[in-house]
Chains A and B, each alone.
Chain A
Amino acid sequence: MILPWIPLLALLGVVVPLLTRQRGRRFCSLATAAPAILALLLVFSQVPALLAGDLPRFQLAWVPQLGLDLAFRLDGLSLLFVSLILGIGLLILLYAHYYLEAHEPFARFYSFLMLFMLSMVGIVMADNLLLLWLFWELTSLSSFLLIGFWSHWTDARKGARMALTVTGAGGLALLAGLLLLGDMAGSFDLGVVLESREAILADPRYPLMLVLVLLGAFTKSAQFPFHFWLPHAMAAPTPVSAYLHSATMVKAGIFLMARLHPAIAGSEAWELIVTLTGMATLLYGAWFALLKTDLKAILAFSTVSHLGLITVLLGIGSPLAILAALFHILNHATFKAALFMSAGIIDHETGTRELGRLGGLRRAMPVTALLTSLTAAAMAGVPLFNGFLSKEMFFAEAAASPLLGGLSWLLPVLATLGGILSVAYSLRLVHAVFFKPARKAPPKSPHEPPRLMRAPVELLAALCVLVGLLPVIAEVPLGLAVEAVLLTPLEFHLAIWHGLNLPLLMSVIALIAGVLLYALHAHLRQFGRQFSPMDARLIFEGAVQRLMTWSERLTVRLENGSLQRYMSWLLGAALLLGAIGLLQLPSLAGARPTQEADGILLLGAALMIFGALGTVATHRYRLISLLMLSVVGLVVSLTFARFSAPDLALTQLSVEVVTMILLMLALFFLPQKTPRESSAGRNIRDLGLAASLGMVVASLNYAVLTRDNHGISDFFIANSVPGGGGHNVVNVILVDFRGFDTLGEITVLALAGLAIFKLLNRLRLFMPHSDGEGRVWSPDRYPLILTSVSQALLPLALLVSAFIFLRGHNLPGGGFIAGLITAVALILVYMARGVEWTQQRLDFQYQPVAIAGVAIATLTGLGSWLFGRPFLTSAFGHFHIPAIGDIELATAMLFDLGVYLAVVGATLMILANLGKLTTPHRPSKEEKH
């Protein structure tokens, strides 16, 4: 149970700085360090178990359907990386405490840093591929925040964006790769995956999976040709560069390759891709490290180069190569983090990182000069430093690798070349900064940094020397890590002296030639100048801009703001899909005989068609067109009545009248005539679309009606009474079988009502003083006849509404129709009596009504949980009430009440508020009830 606490403590560390920021930076730094120290202690507490041969694991099902578990493990490899992440993280925290300026938001910085620490710890401890990927993405996000920390600076923003794009794209490839891998292995559990090497290698999808996973690893670890983001990520504050871009995040790709090594490595494809990519990266990075003049850029390219070196070793893949890779990970993390921090100190104390303005600093900063020299020597691979040991192992493995067959001599030669370059740029770094006389004075007069700011560098430099002199101390952690990668223990011994052999010769050549190369450095730079400078950022930004323009153009084509265009896309898609469905039918007509057409039907059809055509023909005269449309609506509801769909007929009628009122309200503010706008071409398009859609829909209807369909309707008819307790199947479907849909619909209705209410807020529209033909309005605002009739109608309408509502479960009716009737009856009062009069008598807002409706419906649904049933299970029973007799009550009735209230509230919210626009009672912010 200790394992989950390690990431949890890191998670705690994310919150702590934000909570303690008021107490000053010193307190905040200490409080942030505390969880990390505790986590590190917890990690060390597991070492005895690991040494005893146990594998601490923790597993908690998270989304078992996806195979995603909250699973952690702490094997040797995780141990190595977790110690590195937490240990260097703590040093970085100490360093950042002094590095950040007083005015900078240090708490936010710490919080981002700890978030990053959490995600790295997650990656290296994850025992589940999907969990690993989640943390992987979290590192991309948190590093984006860290690189862009100085967000006022455009370089920082662009660098952050580039890093996020490259590593994010790689992360997507990795997800695809890991999904494939999990599928091949049959589980996302890391233990299972690592054991399924045979199945994975034999799978035909192996090459695809390999490429995808390697894409993820290469982008993260800045391998050629995805290396370009790393130098630009140097726009980050130096603690971030030291932590993310030397010690940890860029090692995540390396870690992934090492982690999955037992499962996916060993094939020829792996060896070729990984080794050659690594070698290209090694040389490319080293060459540019030699040419750059910015201190951090040199370190960035040298990091790229060293990552390439480790990748080569993982590609070679022999047990000793793995050992060398892990050893170099450790060594590189120590000397490169120290070098970055030194660079930060120099930058901090002199105000510049340009080699041209630095020089002769050994007098002003003797200790920093010593520390930098020591760590640079480790980077160069000078004997008696830790870098020497792993580099010599690298030379040995490169020389021994049988890869490339007859050209196998190429690897050691290229490796030596990389070594030469590495010596040259390390030498240049130290010499140009500390020993060469300065050509120009730095902006600030240099001096030593605060004692404790240097402490992390001192510690790491000491480690470089210590491991270099006594390599035995690294044997225990490396042994555990190698065992985790190879799945078997490896007998090995780290020593400084192996006798006079080929690797030693290569080291000697690298040292001598490196010094010579630096001596000829001026010529090299001249040579380098002949190439036109290639700024990766410009290329990248250009590509991003092009992509943006291209997608904008595409978007504008599809989504140009014209409703007609959207409609045509929608209808066109429906047309296409409907037509495809029809094409697959053997014949249009089914087995069912057609019904005899009588005179009533023919006339009804004729009226409907005439109404529809009339609507289109008169569409420029809006009111006439609307009246024509009413004819269609009326005939449609008569058709529903004729063909045994009384519920539909009632609904159609009430919706019809609500639509009419709404349009009358809206039409007042709109022009009476539609101007002639459509071009002939567009008319033809619309006509074609409408006609073909009509034909397809008619054919679909014909096909459906002439066939015996035994779909789900039989189930509803059979179960309506026993399951829902109602004889009206339509209503039982609405409030019971598909109650969840209805709940969604009334929620949307209430939301739409609220949105319209908000939109009407303080809206002032032009009010015409005469009708379309120029006649002034009649002076009679509230005609007497209308007033009297409406008053008589209101109670009757409410009675009908109650009647329709109550009978709804067994006979045609229900909450929706009843709600519309109530709303329309109330609107009639508004029309007949005016807002002032009605407001006095109906003194309440409609928003709460709608919300109460949705709440009642939701609570009814939740109520079934009290009885241990799923959401919205309905219950019903028969009750005997004296004088009234036997009645049936169902919870669905309560749900229907919610529907009723939601409909009343939403309809009135829309109609009444639209009506109030012309009165002093219009919705406005000032008005408080």
Chain B
Amino acid sequence: MLDTALWISLTLVLAALALNVYRLTVGPDMPDRLLALDTMYVNSIALIVLLGLWLNTKTYFEAALLIAMLGFISTVAVCKYLLRGDIIE
């Protein structure tokens, strides 16, 4: 049962990742691309957690934690750049 759920979720997450890259490529605007990247971070968290369930290990969860925290900061930096140019003022 879990296996099936895992496979379905993995497929969906992967499809989401592919669509994120599509959005990142076509844009049309910079905020679209940035949002696409940020969503990629979110989907990566899901992917890592699913991988952990699949491989039955907790080792990779810190990576998910870090993406959750640092991916956000990356996005903030680019957002600030788009809004004000100067990110530390």
Contacts and interface: CB of A to CB of B under 8 A. Distances in A.
A461 to B, nearest CB: 83
Given A828-B73, A915-B88, 8 more contacts: A637-B67, A653-B67, A654-B66, A657-B74, A667-B81, A827-B88, A834-B88, A915-B89
Given A603-B14, A664-B78, A657 B87 contact: no
Interface string A873-912: 0000000000000000000000000000000000000011
Nearest to B86: A918
Interface stretch (A365-373, A581-589, A622-630): A622-630
Contacts of A543: none
A915 B87 contact: yes
A786 B76 contact: yes
A830 B83 CA distance: 16
Closest 7 CB pairs of A and B: A915-B88, A778-B83, A657-B70, A664-B81, A649-B63, A660-B74, A641-B60
Contact of B73 (A603, A778, A827, A912): A827
Contact of B88 (A653, A778, A831): A831
B73 A657 contact: yes
A914 B85 CA distance: 13
A610 B70 contact: no
- Grouping DSSP codes into helix (H, G, I), strand (E, B) and loop, the B interface class, with mixed when no group exceeds half, is helix
Contact of B69 (A599, A767, A800, A812): A800
B12 interface: no
Nearest to A772: B30
Nearest to A812: B62
16 contacts: A599-B14, A603-B17, A614-B25, A623-B30, A623-B81, A624-B33, A627-B78, A630-B37, A646-B60, A650-B63, A657-B77, A777-B83, A777-B86, A793-B72, A812-B59, A831-B77
Contact of A824 (B62, B70, B88): B70
B44 A638 contact: yes
- Grouping DSSP codes into helix (H, G, I), strand (E, B) and loop, the A interface class, with mixed when no group exceeds half, is helix
Interface in B1-59: 10-11, 14, 17-18, 21, 24-25, 30, 33-34, 37, 40-41, 44, 47-48, 51, 59
Nearest to B54: A600
B47 to A, nearest CB: 7
B88 A600 contact: no
A793 B81 CA distance: 20
A630 B84 CA distance: 21
Contacts of B73: 657, 661, 824-825, 827-828
Contacts of B47: 600, 638
B61 to A, nearest CB: 9
Contacts of B88: 665, 827, 830-831, 834-835, 911-912, 914-916, 918-919
Nearest to B70: A657
A611 interface: yes
Contact of A654 (B24, B33, B70, B87): B70
A16 B10 CA distance: 83
A655 to B, nearest CB: 10
A768 interface: yes
Given A638-B47, A800-B69, A831-B77, A607 B63 contact: no
Nearest to A667: B81
B58 to A, nearest CB: 10
Given A634-B40, A653-B66, A777 B89 contact: no
Interface in A739-790: 767-768, 771, 777-778, 780-781, 783, 786, 790
Contact of A778 (B40, B77, B84): B84
A668 interface: yes
B63 A641 contact: yes
Contacts of A317: none
Given A638-B47, A812-B59, A824-B70, A665 B87 contact: yes
Contacts of B65: 800
A642 interface: yes
A631 B37 contact: yes
Contacts of A650: 62-63, 66
B77 A664 contact: yes
A807 B85 CA distance: 38
A310 B47 CA distance: 89
B60 A657 contact: no
Contact of B85 (A611, A654, A661, A768): A768
A607 B21 contact: yes
A661 B89 contact: no
Nearest to B71: A657
A628 B88 CA distance: 23
A819 to B, nearest CB: 13
A821 interface: yes
A804 B33 contact: no
Nearest to B82: A771
A796 interface: yes
Interface residues of B, number: 44
A603 B18 contact: yes
Contacts of A631: 21, 24, 37, 40
A852 interface: no
A813 interface: yes
Interface string A298-309: 000000000000
Contacts of B17: 603, 607
B5 to A, nearest CB: 16
Contacts of B10: 600
Nearest to B25: A614
A578 B78 CA distance: 38
A641 B51 contact: yes
B78 to A, nearest CB: 6
Nearest to A783: B83
A349 interface: no
A644 to B, nearest CB: 8
Nearest to B67: A653
Contact of A813 (B11, B14, B34, B62): B62
Given A600-B10, A641-B60, A649-B60, A627 B21 contact: no
A104 B44 CA distance: 78
A610 B21 CA distance: 9
Nearest to A830: B88
A831 B21 contact: no
Contacts of B62: 646, 650, 804, 812-813
Contact of A641 (B21, B34, B48, B83): B48
Contacts of B70: 653-654, 656-657, 821, 824
A654 B74 CA distance: 10
A808 to B, nearest CB: 11
A899 to B, nearest CB: 18
Contact of A831 (B51, B63, B76, B82): B76
Contacts of A790: 76
A607 B14 CA distance: 10
A914 B69 CA distance: 23
Contacts of B71: 657
Contacts of B30: 623-624
A797 interface: yes
A650 B48 CA distance: 12
A413 B7 CA distance: 107
A855 B37 CA distance: 40
B15 to A, nearest CB: 9
B24 A627 contact: yes
A634 B41 contact: yes
A327 to B, nearest CB: 84
Given A638-B47, A800-B65, A668 B37 contact: no
A664 B80 contact: yes
A646 B83 contact: no
A634 B41 CA distance: 8
A748 B71 CA distance: 28
Interface in A278-313: none
A796 B34 CA distance: 25
A311 B77 CA distance: 79
A803 to B, nearest CB: 8
Contacts of B21: 607, 610-611, 631
Contacts of B66: 650, 653-654, 800, 821
